[in-house]
Amino acid sequence: MKIDSKKLIKAAAKARLGSVSPYSEFKVGAALLTKSGEIVGGANVESASYGLTCCAERIALFKALTDGKRNFIAVAVVARCDGGPMPCGACRQLLREYAADAAVFIADSADLKTVKSFTVKELLPEAFVIVP
């Protein structure tokens, strides 16, 4: 199946509107695509105890996983920053564990037409995994 990266980027941009980021005011949206074509979005949620903040990618992943979804083939991440937001190390680890074969699409919310493409394995080579 050819992945529609533009459509997934748009879903991430829509999910971004749900960001709860009163401290950084840095809104991030993510959208996961399953093999069967389902899309699950998520956005970052921040805490006054800053370290408890959860990134958009992990919110989307946890939503999808706890709804029983598996077989992720792509994830898109959008925020307003030049070149788009690269996933942090913690998110790369979780994506590597639960979306190992996924493509990763990144875009600046101010320029959704310019999309950078990676794979999860490229973003976290030689990862720590117990179940391969």
| Catalytic residue positions, numbered | 57
* Under rule CB under 6 A, residue 57 binds ligand THU: yes
- Least distance to ligand THU, CB of residue 85, Å: 6
Instruction: Establish if 87 lies at the interface with ligand THU (CB under 6 A).
Output: yes
Options 16, 44, 64, 72; binder of ligand THU; rule CB under 6 A: 44
- AA identity, residue 13: A
How far is the C-alpha of 33 from the C-alpha of 75, rounded, in Å? 6
> Is 85 one of the binding residues for ligand THU (CB under 6 A)?
yes
At closest approach, how far in Å is the CB of 87 from ligand THU?
4
CB 75 within 8 A of CB 95: yes
Q: Does 56 bind ligand THU (CB under 6 A)?
A: yes
Q: What residues contact residue 25 under an 8 Å CB cut-off, 6+ apart?
A: none
Nearest to 72 by CA among 127, 120, 34: 34
Among 8, 41, 46, 103, binds ligand THU (CB under 6 A): 46
The answer to whether the beta carbons of residues 27 and 21 sit under 8 Å apart is yes
C-alpha closest to that of 58 among 24, 17, 97, 111: 97
Q: Does 28 bind ligand THU (CB under 6 A)?
A: yes
Q: Which is nearer to ligand THU, 37 or 82 (CB)?
A: 82
Kindly give the pairing relationship between strand 39-43 and strand 28-34.
antiparallel
Binding interface with ligand THU (CB under 6 A): 21, 24, 26, 28, 44, 46, 53, 55-57, 85, 87-88, 91
